[in-house]
């Protein structure tokens, strides 16, 4: 998929976590997590900017998702360092989930098109695809974006109501 589709799937997958954070009166962290998931969701396509990596290769895998999750956990923990050890642990956990969800969202969006992904690289070269739409399908990309925005808004309202 293209950027709008990736953003939409990322928002949809993040919505339950964001809504939960809002319900626990952590709206600022929920908003930061939403920005974070949008920031990392297109990282797998860095492979298209270099000749050293095959497109939809290692960066389109669950191993890469875990790697990005660890990086975002460290960054989040460092940003929360002054809040004390308990807060650092909680913020780092959210950071980890944001990193993993952002990359997994990218994989989910790419599974929708014929080219698919190899999410279990390097353990398996099996390619997964649902072959539903072309990545270049504008309508599909914007429908995914609308679904993600709607899921995020709904999650925010539900989280607010449960506070």
DSSP alpha helix (H) spans, the chain: 3-23, 27-40, 62-79, 85-111, 138-162
Mind giving me the DSSP string for 17-33?
HHHHHHHTT-HHHHHHH
Here the tokens at position 78 are 């460092």
Q: Mean pLDDT for each consecutive 10-residue tract of the chain (163 residues)?
A: 97 98 96 97 86 79 97 95 89 97 97 95 94 95 98 97 92
Q: Are 21 and 159 in contact (CB under 8 A)?
A: yes
C-alpha dihedral, 146 to 71 to 53 to 121, nearest 10°: -80
Q: Are 119 and 61 in contact (CB under 8 A)?
A: yes
pLDDT at position 153: 98
The full length of the chain comes to 163
Instruction: Evaluate if pTM is beyond 0.75.
Output: yes
Query: SS3 of 36, please?
Result: helix
pLDDT at position 3: 96
């Amino acid at each position: 998929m293209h950027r709008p589709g990736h953003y939409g799937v990322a928002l949809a997958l993040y919505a339950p976590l964001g809504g939960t954070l809002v319900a626990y009166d952590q709206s600022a962290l929920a908003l930061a997590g939403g920005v974070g998931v949008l920031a990392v969701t297109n990282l797998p396509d860095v492979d298209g900017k270099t000749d050293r990596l095959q497109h939809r290769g290692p960066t389109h895998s669950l191993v890469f998702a875990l790697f990005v999750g660890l990086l975002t956990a460290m960054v989040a923990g460092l940003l929360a360092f002054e809040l004390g050890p308990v807060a650092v642990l909680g913020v780092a956990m959210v950071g980890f989930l944001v990193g993993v969800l952002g990359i997994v969202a990218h994989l989910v969006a790419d599974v929708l098109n014929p080219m698919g992904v190899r999410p279990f690289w390097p353990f398996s070269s099996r390619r997964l695809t649902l072959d539903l739409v072309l990545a270049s399908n504008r309508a599909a990309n914007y429908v995914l974006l609308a679904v993600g925005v709607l899921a995020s808004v709904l999650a925010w309202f539900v989280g607010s109501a449960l506070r």
